[in-house]
Amino acid sequence: MAIEINGSQVPVPDDPRVSLLDLLRESLHLTGTKKGCNQGACGACTVLVDGERIVSCLALAVQYEGRSITTIEGLSDGDALHPLQQAFIDHDGFQCGYCTPGQICSAIGMAAELRRGLPSHVTGDLTAERVPFSRVELQERMSGNLCCCGAHNGIIDAITETFGEVAA
Amino acid sequence: MTPFRYARATDVTDAVRLADGGARYLGGGTNLVDLMRETIERPAALVDVSGLPATIEAHDGGLLIGAAVRNTALAEHPAVRARYPVLARAILAGASAQIRNMATVGGNLLQRTRCAYFYDEEGSRCNKRVPGQGCDAIDGFNRIHAILGASPACVATHPSDMCVALAALDAIVHLHGPDGTRTVALTDFHTLPGERPDIETVLAPGELITALALPASPLAARSTYRKVRDRASYAFALVSVAAAIDLEDGIVRDVRLALGGVAHKPWRATKAETALRNGPATEAAFRAAAELELADAAPLAGNGFKVELARRAIVATLGELTGETA
Ligand SMILES: Cc1cc2nc3c(=O)[nH]c(=O)nc-3n(C[C@H](O)[C@H](O)[C@H](O)COP(=O)(O)OP(=O)(O)OC[C@H]3O[C@@H](n4cnc5c(N)ncnc54)[C@H](O)[C@@H]3O)c2cc1C
Ligand code: FES
Ligand code: FES
């Protein structure tokens, strides 16, 4: 009965009411993942499960037994930042920083979706194997992550620099 | 959240046995966990069916989709993208990428209304939450509410995008319950509110959704979904249209049309379909069919705009599919 979190095996909580988000923050003190709305609407709590992005506030931890979770704390290699973390700094991809861990995890999940050729609401040709990488595509694909500081332009620039090639 | 017991089902029989007629099934949790946290739902036990087989298989010329298939996986499937574009487009128009990665097909069908009075347990009356209590939406802020098929007891809408496409595609819901298996047409699965808005589907206690069948549909290859909402992305529909059309020499040979955001269930627009069949594919004909479908619309104080919005959305969607741009 364990969940893998950033490479460590963590016991599943006894109380099935505990969300994955509360397990991370309250039990494991991994406070990088943020609680915004706690109802699936803001994306601040986004983490990766086996590489796929989800909102951890609507996830009961017990459902994720045997799965592998990556949070913002699991992205850097010691002091060496993930390229997207560095790009957020270089492009002013944040102001207060509250949405940032969610934005970064979400964008990494999004890059994998682009690589697979998953279409989006704004994709013209649903059957195309490759999705065009464009600002409009990015805006649509990242719409599940709100930023109340309005750092969107920097966020888009950081993601474009890091992942602009993946769909090409 | 009220305490509950949790069990994980290994297969369909196991799930139905574990639920024992009383527990609630748990898919991705994106609606149920939220409602449990708000104490609007208080199940004593949850049976997790999110790990049941999530396969998409060929079936009678169409597709059989396991109830645990994630929304993303369904929209991504090559056969859905090529043969049922309306379904892929409807799913991709809903929620966010994160939520689509979690949400299951079964859970999407049973997601509950986004009426604010339904969510406001402490401050509002709602016949869905407490039958007989009254409805504060009818004389309240009802901009997002129903214009078709509502009752004096409830004016809530069904919020799913996916289900609107499924209604247009004549999808069949496969069920497995304590008394065996049965199938129900998606258009008969959700109910109108009548006097019992707390009852939202024909699902019996303990019955599990096991799969969805999409029949073979040559006309679905020419299909699309249009969603009108308050912002360009990540918002529920004010009005949406799912349409498929078979066109020959400018004549509508066959057509499927369904509306979202307008009623307590995905609204199959059969009157408009009948009016369109074997008629010319012109903007005037589309407009006339839309008028007919909305002739019975009964808007509330805050949502009169939806009637004209629905008409225009129908005309624009059919126009897009036929090249008769409005
Ligand atoms: C912020 C936000 C925005 C959203 N925006 C949209 C939108 O724009 N468009 C849209 O269509 N949807 C939207 N949604 C809703 C989303 O699509 C649903 O929450 C989701 O589809 C529910 O699926 P689930 O598997 O998570 O269901 P759960 O939450 O697990 O379950 C929902 C219901 O289904 C029942 N259930 C689940 N599986 C089965 C089964 N196999 N058999 C019987 N009963 C079952 C549960 O008991 C529960 O009653 C949004 C949700 C959120 C949180
Ligand atoms: S905290 Fe999870 S989406 Fe807002
Ligand atoms: S940086 Fe403040 S919310 Fe996005």
Domain count, chain B: 2
Q: What are the pLDDT tens digits along chain B (326 aa)? A: 999 999 999 999 999 999 997 899 999 999 999 999 999 999 999 999 999 999 999 999 999 999 999 999 999 999 999 999 999 999 999 999 999 999 999 999 999 999 999 999 999 999 999 999 999 999 999 999 999 999 999 999 999 999 999 999 999 999 999 999 999 999 999 999 999 999 999 999 999 999 999 999 999 999 999 999 999 999 999 999 999 999 999 999 999 999 999 999 999 999 999 999 999 999 999 999 999 999 999 999 999 999 999 999 999 999 999 996 54
**Residue B294 and residue B269 in contact, taking contact as beta carbons nearer than 8 Å:** no
Which tokens hold the place of A59? 């996830």
Residue of B34, B48, B102 with shortest CB distance to A39: B34
Task: Provide the whole-model pTM.
Answer: 0.98
Whether B194 is in a domain gets the answer no
B240 neighbourhood in chain A, CB within 8 Å: none
- pLDDT, tens digit, for every residue of A111-131? 999 999 999 999 999 999 998
Instruction: Give B 48-67 residues with CB within 8 A of chain A.
Output: 48, 50
CA distance B99 to B111: 13
CA distance A93 to A85: 9
Whether B155 is in a domain gets the answer no
CATH 3.10.20.30 fits A2-73, yes or no: yes
Matching fold, domains A2-73 and A83-163: no
Contact A119 B97 (CB under 8 A): no
Q: Look at residue B10 in the predicted model and tell me its pLDDT.
A: 96
Range of the domain at B295: 222-322
ipTM reported for the complex, 2 dp: 0.98
Whether B103 is in a domain gets the answer no
**Residue B258 and residue B169 in contact, taking contact as beta carbons nearer than 8 Å:** no
DSSP class of B203:
P
Contact B72 A118 (CB under 8 A): yes
Cα-flanking dihedrals φ and ψ of residue A61, to 5°? -55, -40
- Ligand 1 center from residue A98 Cα (angstroms): 27
Residue A45 beta carbon below 6 angstroms from any ligand 2 atom: yes
Q: Which CATH number fits the domain that encloses residue B40?
A: 3.30.43.10
Whether B296 is in a domain gets the answer yes
Crossing angle of the two packed helices A100-116 and A83-90, in degrees rounded to 10: 120
Domain A83-163: assigned CATH number? 1.10.150.120
B223 neighbourhood in chain A, CB within 8 Å: none
Residue of A63, A113, A127 with shortest CB distance to B48: A63
Substitution target from A14, A35, A45, A58 for chain B, most B beta carbons within 10 A: A58
> Sheet of B180-185: strands edge to edge?
B56-59, B62-66, B208-214, B172-177, B180-185
Q: Would you call A28 helix, strand, or coil by DSSP? A: coil
- Closest chain B CA to residue A51: B101
Substitution target from B98, B112, B231 for chain A, most A beta carbons within 10 A: B98
- Closest chain A CA to residue B224: A126
Whether B21 is in a domain gets the answer yes
DSSP class of B201:
B
Q: Would you call B10 helix, strand, or coil by DSSP? A: coil
Whole-angstrom Cα Rg for chain B: 19
Crossing angle of the two packed helices A100-116 and A152-163, in degrees rounded to 10: 40
Whether B86 is in a domain gets the answer no
- Residues above pLDDT 90, as percent of chain B: 98
Whether B33 is in a domain gets the answer yes
